[in-house]
Structure 1
Amino acid sequence: MATVLILSIISLCLVEYSGAQSLVLVPGDQTQPKKKGFGLIIKCDATGLGPGEDPQLTWTNAQGNVITSTNSNDPVYVQGKGTQSLKLRILSVQGEHAGKWICSGVLGGQTQTKDVIFDVWEDITFTGKQYQRPTIYTDALIECRVGGSPQPEVSWSHKGKTLERGRYIPKPNGLEILNITKNDNGEYLCKAEITSRGRYEEHPITVEVKVPPTLTSPPKMTKGIEGKDLTMYCKASGDPPPTYKWYKDQSGDYVILNNGGRYEISEVEGTLKILRLEVSDDGTYKCVASNLAGPVEATAEVDVMVPPKIIQQDHGEGISGGTTKMLCVATGDPAPDMKWHKIGEASPFQNKGTGVPDMINSRVTVTQNKERDRTRLEMQIVSLEPSDISNYTCSAYNEAGNDTKNTSLNVLFKPQFNNNPSDVAYTWSGAFKRNITCIVDSNPPARIVWKRGNKLLENNGTFTINTENRVRQVVSNLTVLVDFTNEGFMFGDYVCEGSNNQGTGSTVINLRQATLPHPPSTVDVVRAAQRWIRLRIGAPSNSGGLPVTGYRVQYSTTQGNNQLETIEAEIDPERTNDDDSRPKTTVDIENLNPSTLYTISVYARTDVGLSDPRETQFTTKKISVPEPVNILSKTVSDTSSEYNLVWEKPRDGGSPIKHYIIRYRRVTYNQSNNQITDIKSDFKVVKQENPEATSFKLTNLIPERTYQIEIDAVNGVGKSETRHIVMTTKYGSNAAGAKELERPSSETSDQPAPNRNSKEAQDGDTSPITQREGLSTGAIVGLVIIIFFILLLFVDVTCYFKNRCGIIMCVRENVCGKPSDDGDRHVTMEEGDAKETQPLAEKEKPGDDTKGTGAENQADTVEDEKKQPLLDNEDKTGDDVTGTDQSEPEKMEEKEPEDKEEKIEEHQVEECKEAKEEPPVNAPEAEVQPSSDNTGPPAEKA
């Protein structure tokens, strides 16, 4: 204890002594922590010295070296050298500056030191890219170098989770991930901490695994055509998407192809397009697809094909019966196939190999020989014939295209007479010239002469020779004049002789005397009506040597005026009977009289003259009702509210047609059995007054409804047999049917037809007169005219009563006489009005025909008195024609004369039925078929 006390006293004494002269450091901490990279200054002061006393201060670094530099540009230097205060400056503290630095000085003749420890520390630093792309399926290192002093502790996390060892191995320079996959993609945190200094930092790293390229569509062997463009394709998958380069094999070395010139390369799409292919482009091409993970490559061949080109083609020539060969040569890559084809033939000659004839023409043999880039095709024809003369086509073809060229084959042959028209000719006496024709085929063209017996004929008054040269053919006409002076020796054989350098040939033509034809074999009346008949004339059994050119038909009546009428009919060679090969000709005779017996004579005509006649008799039909009307219109209307009924004008039965009666009503129709299953409304009747009309427009129809329409033709005798049609209107709407459209639209219901007197029937069954919601222009004009006449009548009446003048006064004086007073005038006017309102039937004679009062196509609506369905096909001679859209007085005015007319027509029909005509004895009634034609003589069916 005493020892400790003594030492303490000695220590205090030393301190007191040193306080007189000592070294002091500012700052005075013995340990100075300094951050790397920061500047440092520390001052060493010598205290307790007298003025001018030099302590010879120095600074020694941690390595024991004295700092002598006073240059402020040096990293370490001192300031205040030779003074009692010396500053140490370090511009940027580094790790090498760490350690004990000593300040030394001479104080009181003794060296004193003062030391300070520089503790240099370094903040956390990271080295490594923030975006890293390792290769898939490798042991990848995620680089992250952590710096700091003292050395930081490092940890890793991925997607918020701390990584444990296993596949993840920490390394000094980063994190190693074994067999990395795409599941390892994402953000990693490289974490560092220096606990002693309380420092913590994170370094984020995004990892995206690279996938090496894999060829999904490698380039394929591609064929191109010389002069055309060719495109090669190469496609690979990878991450990132690969880019592409193309190379061509040049004598074993692949040379890269650059975009430009004849090459168009897409580094993104992987396509190579070669423009205007050349033969030199043939070869091997390589596609290289690469990305950050590496390359992949594939090769493919390009075959440049050359279209065929015919470089040689021979013309053929030979003599009839001989042999010829024709050669055709073509080039191309690949060597083309070739064919010979005769123009006009359906198929080419078949190449069956050397020496094997064609299957179609056994005289032809075709042989083909292929070489490297060319083909030879030879055709041999044996036993040449004139028919072999033609143009021939040589064709060559391969995958790249085809080529054709034409040539010809010429065959020489002596005259032939295969195309001579006939070996018999006819003529007759009477200064008539007749041509005898000789056609000679030959090559070269033949010289033609005519002979009669052994005598050579020349041009003179009796014989004339005309020759025409054609292609490998000569046509010679010998004109012979036969009259009554030479007919004894002009008939007989004539020789046509042709010759050329291949030989001579001849043919004999016999000239015979023609005679008049026989009469027609048959004359039948096949169709008949009141005013026309149709004859069918059979050809004569013997035409006298010349063809029948036509017929003369003469006819007359045996009653009254028996004037002979003549018709010249031309031959109709196309019409024949099934039981007779000789042609039949039909002739129509028009404008005959009804119920009249006619005598008919028919002559056959040739160039020689007319035959004897073939005669027959026939009686025309009696006047009757018109034939039934043939309806031509469609079964569906063009609009929703109108229908145009079209028909063919029928034959009038011998009495002019007066008008047509048309009836229509709504029905339900079953198309499967063509039956009307329900009647939806009563018949509405209209009249077409114009007898020449062939159409009538029905208006105010209801959309999507089915109508039954009947039509009769009426003449002075009565009505025709009724014809009908069932039609349907289109979808739509119209003003007249607006109310009815509110009712159920189904026409196929089993509900009975509505009562005509019911409200529903009145709404739906409108009159044919078009109903409109507003006034039309015509109605407005009519209304203005009516108002004008009312005003005019008012003025005239005023003038009559006040001034005894005006139109009424003038009429009254001229018709009724001058009145004695006003009462007489009033009575007279009433009497005049009464006369005007008498029924129309009282003003007409019983025999007058009722005329239509409307314009053409005006619909005078009529009620069918019997309301008879159309399908029973009976004459409706008792139907009443009345207006359905007029007031009661107007109906009464029109109904009586119409009833009268219909009664007259009915009476006439009954008379016609009672007076059934009996055919005349001589009339070929069994051969007559009733006519159903409408507008004229029907065309005879073949």
Structure 2
Amino acid sequence: MKPVEVVEGETASVRCIATGKPLPSYQWIKLDRSNDLSKTDRFQVNKKTGELIMNRVEFGDDGMYKCVAANSAGRVETEVRINVLVKPQIYELVNVTASMTNETRIICKTKGRPPPRVTFRKLSNREPFIVGQQPDNNRITLKQETFADAGEAFGTLVITNLNRSDDGLYECIAENPTGKAYKNGHITVQFKPTFNRTKDLPSVWTWENRPGNLSCLPEAIPNATIVWRWNQIEISDENFNMGRVSRNNFQVFGRGPQSFLIVKPYNEPRYYTFYECVARNPLGEASIKIQLKQAFVPLPIGQVRTNIITATTIKFSILPPSNYDGLPIRSYTVQFKPEKQPLWEKGFLHTWSNGAPYIIENLVPEVTYHFRFAARNDVGLGPWTNGPSITMPRRSVPAEPTLLLPGVNLTYKQELQAPYSNHFEIRWNVPADNGEPIEYYLIRYCRIERTEDEERDIDCSENIQQSVQYTSFPLDHLVPDTLYKVELRAHNAIGDSTPATLRFRTARGIGPVPLENPTMSSGLIIGIVVLALVFILIVVDLTCFLANRTGAIASCCERIRKQKKDEEDPKLGSDEKEPLNQPLEKPVSVEYDGRQVYTKSGEIIGKHSAV
């Protein structure tokens, strides 16, 4: 018989087949023990079929077995090799630690039958390493050793000239025909302290006797111990006790792996300087310098210019202080007052965030205002810088609206390609009202017809009035692939603004079907809906009548039928109305002879007649 393979821990069966007359009886024997397996605990032998069942296969079940078939005429036997396969197991994987530039080895010890194939995979990569030197990294080599007699296999990952990228988790994978086993190990790469990630630390600012907080966060394996230096003097308990540095000015929290130095300068210039953080571990040391600066309010603003002036609004542009090296500016403040107001303290204040549109609204037309400006940071408000004196224009028509076309800057003659063939929506910003509230907007659009020499407007709409509450308007029922011009005006009590103009071309496609009367009254719409509902009800009722003789039509028909019957009843005689009161003309008798029923006419059956 061919060798049979079974798996440790599972249930397996082996069958022995022999022929004979009478049918033979079977027996299984393990040769190294010479015992009858039918008498053991984990084995079962079917003496009629020759099947050997092995429960919870063990490692020691591996070996030669004999099957014996016998009957009254004789016996025959055969031998078979049963190989017990063992699933892979990883019984040793030790984490390793090594210093940068050195060599390290991580070894994975496995067992199984047959001996497993062992490889590694770094968890940050999908693909495992191949046996031998890696083609993309000649520093890494994977070696395998197999001990067939013991059923063991070792995998060794060798990494030379270690660097920090080699640090991390590595997965050992042991595989044979019965399955796979996995286990994780770690390679720790030691390195001296470094400040590569924090080498560009910003300066630390303090003011008004506020303590400055200096942070030191080095990277190091093993963790570094940290000391601070001020003017080459170490800030330590020893120097505190010797009076070289004052506990009133310094506090240190943490000596590794991170540390914080709290400096209380009390406005003494010597404390506004560089401080050195020194990190050490057995592999070396590194240091970084952090500057503590005294912060002040911002310098005067460099320049203020006016951009846009209407009757009630002014938009400014503000240039920050020149050569300013301090805390970032958070906001700008403007103070303004009418010319007739002599005291700035009674003027108006307005503050903008840095970078916001610098606009003042609700000013009074034809009034002269004086302005001054200042910048603010976390310390406070800087000195005032006088701005221009401005006389507001008189009340007038609104400013021209600004059409909103995201990402597009068009001149009058340029065309915008519309995304749709039959409609287009215009949007705009609310313009300055120039002293009188805007009452509404006026919209007018035309088709543009081009000839060789000129362009002319055709099919122009009337001025469409749009409520001041809205800043958009849809243009519907447009013609595809056609050039249009739109004019938008704002209107107040004084008049109309200059028009904001847009030219656009509709997309190619199927345009709207022209309507003779594009508008319908609400009453007409309601009437159409009611008629449609009535028609639907009639169709449903007619369907019910034809299918099941139910519904309103069926009820009406039933009433008409009953009414006709009631009208015909008086015409009938008494004999027709009461036919049951008349004697029977043909009485019938019934006889039963035990086998068949007979009927006879001409006789009246009495109540005692036999049936």
- For normalisation by structure 1, the TM-score amounts to 0.36
2:551 matched residue in structure 1: none
2:467 paired with 1:690: yes
Q: Retained in 2: the 8 A contact 1:634–1:727?
A: yes
- Say which SS state the counterpart of residue 775 (structure 1) adopts: helix
Distance 2:289 2:402 in 1: 63
2:437 matched residue in structure 1: 656
Q: Deviations over 1:137-174 (max 9, x none)?
A: xxxxxxxxxxxxxxxxxxxxxxxxxxxxxxxxxxxxxx
Instruction: After TM superposition, give the deviation of residue 513 of structure 1 in Å.
Output: 4.2
- Say which SS state the counterpart of residue 140 (structure 2) adopts: strand
2:259 matched residue in structure 1: 476
- Say which SS state the counterpart of residue 263 (structure 2) adopts: strand
- Say which SS state the counterpart of residue 254 (structure 2) adopts: strand
Counterpart code for 2:259? S
Instruction: After TM superposition, give the deviation of residue 603 of structure 1 in Å.
Output: 3.4
Among 363, 366, 379, which residue is 2:141 paired with? 366
- Say which SS state the counterpart of residue 710 (structure 1) adopts: strand
2:403 matched residue in structure 1: 630
1:437 matched residue in structure 2: 215
2:314 paired with 1:532: yes
1:408 matched residue in structure 2: 186
Distance 2:438 2:277 in 1: 67
2:102 paired with 1:322: yes
Q: Deviations over 1:708-738 (max 9, x none)?
A: 463432332423325245557955657x33x
- Say which SS state the counterpart of residue 474 (structure 1) adopts: coil
Instruction: After TM superposition, give the deviation of residue 382 of structure 1 in Å.
Output: 3.7
Distance 1:490 1:702 in 2: 75
Among 159, 163, 167, which residue is 1:381 paired with? 159
Distance 1:385 1:417 in 2: 16
Among 463, 481, 492, which residue is 2:250 paired with? 463
Closer/same/farther in 2, CA of residues 528 and 388 from structure 1, 3 Å limit = farther
Distance 1:605 1:350 in 2: 60
Q: Retained in 2: the 8 A contact 1:424–1:512?
A: no
Q: How does 1:250-649 map to 2 (within 5 A)?
A: 313-328=93-108, 340-341=121-122, 343=124, 353-354=132-133, 359=137, 364-369=139-144, 378-385=156-163, 388-393=166-171, 406-420=184-198, 425-427=203-205, 430-452=208-230, 453-454=233-234, 456-457=236-237, 460-467=247-254, 474-484=257-267, 487=268, 489-492=270-273, 494-499=275-280, 507-525=288-306, 529-530=310-311, 531-538=313-320, 540-543=322-325, 546-557=326-337, 559-561=339-341, 564-571=347-354, 587-593=358-364, 599-617=370-388, 619=390, 622=393, 623-628=396-401, 630=403, 635=418, 645-649=425-429
- For normalisation by structure 2, the TM-score amounts to 0.51
Instruction: After TM superposition, give the deviation of residue 437 of structure 1 in Å.
Output: 1.6
Q: How does 1:608-757 map to 2 (within 5 A)?
A: 608-617=379-388, 619=390, 622=393, 623-628=396-401, 630=403, 635=418, 645-654=425-434, 655-664=436-445, 682-696=459-473, 701=477, 708=484, 710-713=486-489, 714-715=491-492, 716-724=494-502, 725-727=504-506, 733=513, 736-737=515-516
Distance 2:433 2:177 in 1: 76
Greater C-alpha radius of gyration: 1
- Say which SS state the counterpart of residue 469 (structure 2) adopts: coil
Question: What 5-or-longer segments of structure 2 have no aligned partner?
Answer: 1-6, 8-15, 17-85, 241-245, 406-415, 531-611
2:558 paired with 1:775: no
Instruction: After TM superposition, give the deviation of residue 690 of structure 1 in Å.
Output: 1.8
Distance 1:408 1:460 in 2: 44
Aligned residues: 413
Q: Retained in 1: the 8 A contact 2:487–2:500?
A: yes
Distance 1:391 1:526 in 2: 62
Distance 1:687 1:525 in 2: 35
Q: Retained in 1: the 8 A contact 2:334–2:371?
A: yes
Q: Retained in 1: the 8 A contact 2:227–2:234?
A: no
Distance 1:413 1:547 in 2: 37
Counterpart code for 1:684? S
Flag the structure with more relative contact order, 1 or 2, with Cα contacts below 8 A and sequence separation at least 6: 2
Distance 1:381 1:427 in 2: 46
Counterpart code for 2:265? V
Q: Retained in 2: the 8 A contact 1:414–1:443?
A: yes
Q: Retained in 1: the 8 A contact 2:212–2:292?
A: no
Q: Retained in 2: the 8 A contact 1:308–1:403?
A: yes
Question: What 5-or-longer segments of structure 1 have no aligned partner?
Answer: 1-225, 227-249, 251-305, 573-584, 738-765, 782-942
Counterpart code for 1:775? L
Closer/same/farther in 2, CA of residues 333 and 461 from structure 1, 3 Å limit = same
Closer/same/farther in 2, CA of residues 780 and 709 from structure 1, 3 Å limit = farther
- Say which SS state the counterpart of residue 257 (structure 2) adopts: strand
Distance 1:599 1:480 in 2: 44
Q: CA-atom RMSD, angstroms?
A: 5.5
Q: How does 1:800-879 map to 2 (within 5 A)?
A: none
Instruction: After TM superposition, give the deviation of residue 481 of structure 1 in Å.
Output: 1.5
Distance 2:291 2:459 in 1: 81
Instruction: After TM superposition, give the deviation of residue 392 of structure 1 in Å.
Output: 3.7
Distance 1:366 1:314 in 2: 18
1:156 matched residue in structure 2: none
- Say which SS state the counterpart of residue 685 (structure 1) adopts: coil
Closer/same/farther in 2, CA of residues 645 and 444 from structure 1, 3 Å limit = closer
Closer/same/farther in 2, CA of residues 730 and 652 from structure 1, 3 Å limit = farther
Closer/same/farther in 2, CA of residues 600 and 437 from structure 1, 3 Å limit = farther
Q: Deviations over 1:769-793 (max 9, x none)?
A: 4379x93448999xxxxxxxxxxxx
Q: Retained in 2: the 8 A contact 1:368–1:377?
A: yes
